[in-house]
Structure 1
């Protein structure tokens, strides 16, 4: 079984997988805080609301999801930590577990790039409401799943 240590979410550490959206004290508008990707001309934007499931660390999983044709962005409405595990797609499109990393996002939003494999949205302790955004067309490629060798996320 693979064991991955979870670290705090930072823009630099998450760069290969997407962007971190950190709320900042701003006096003007800040544009393009995340790259929104849509690889299907006919897919429509979907701004949605979701509530996380809850989990704890250590957290064991053996499935990951991906959105091959759309980025997926989450903006949580609370600072409760959200558990993230991400992996880049391999040459066959399946999760490349050699690129697997685990993070905790506390008070920050995040945006997965199109095709990045990740866990379903889960928070530590209590459910968290979040706004989400992605492009969808109602076909199975909106969300695909893959079985992976069991992985356990731990925290020092």
Structure 2
């Protein structure tokens, strides 16, 4: 069995794949000093033929150990996942179909923005309701490539 142990999601470790979206670091106060604005946290890229769209996903929760054999990418646009609850979720990414995937575990107060073309696993909440706002490319051309591993990977608890 091929296994992965998820690492904590940090901006430095996740940088090759995208940005971590959280309310840490520099901010400015807005709304009469009652709100911290952590400004411009992700580079949105939807290619020349697309536009930004916001969708809501409700994914079935999974549990560790979690086995998978499918990764996918969106060659024409980035994809941001913003949890609508404070529950950790699993993030699986890879530099390519032949490379060993990496697994990250969010803190429950983090979202992610995957760079355009980043290979990644499917949305993997670890608790119900698995509710996410997703910002991604809306367009008329196909924007999905899938790859199935010949042997599954299993993510085990850290």
TM class by shorter chain equals: 0.7 to 0.9
Cα drift, residue 26 of structure 1 = 5.3
Pick closer, same or farther for the CA change 1:15–1:47 going to 2, 3 Å: same
What is the match of residue 73 of structure 1? 80
Cα drift, residue 119 of structure 1 = 1.3
What is the match of residue 35 of structure 1? 43
What is the match of residue 3 of structure 2? 3
What is the match of residue 92 of structure 1? none
Cα distance in 2 for partners of 1:35, 1:155 equals 31
Cα distance in 2 for partners of 1:52, 1:26 equals 34
More off after superposition, 61-70 vs 124-133: 124-133
How many residues of Structure 1 are paired with residues of Structure 2 in the alignment?
A: 148
Cα distance in 2 for partners of 1:104, 1:37 equals 24
What is the match of residue 18 of structure 2? 18
Cα distance in 1 for partners of 2:115, 2:11 equals 13
Larger Rg: 2
Partner secondary structure for residue 148 of structure 2: strand
5+ long unaligned stretches in structure 1: 90-94
What is the match of residue 52 of structure 1? 59
Cα drift, residue 4 of structure 1 = 0.7
What is the match of residue 144 of structure 1? 145
TM-score of the superposed pair, with normalisation by structure 1: 0.86
Cα distance in 1 for partners of 2:91, 2:43 equals 19
Cα distance in 1 for partners of 2:83, 2:148 equals 27
Aligned CA-pair RMSD: 1.7
User: Equivalent of 1:82, from 89, 92, 96?
Assistant: 89
Cα distance in 1 for partners of 2:52, 2:146 equals 21
Cα distance in 2 for partners of 1:146, 1:138 equals 22
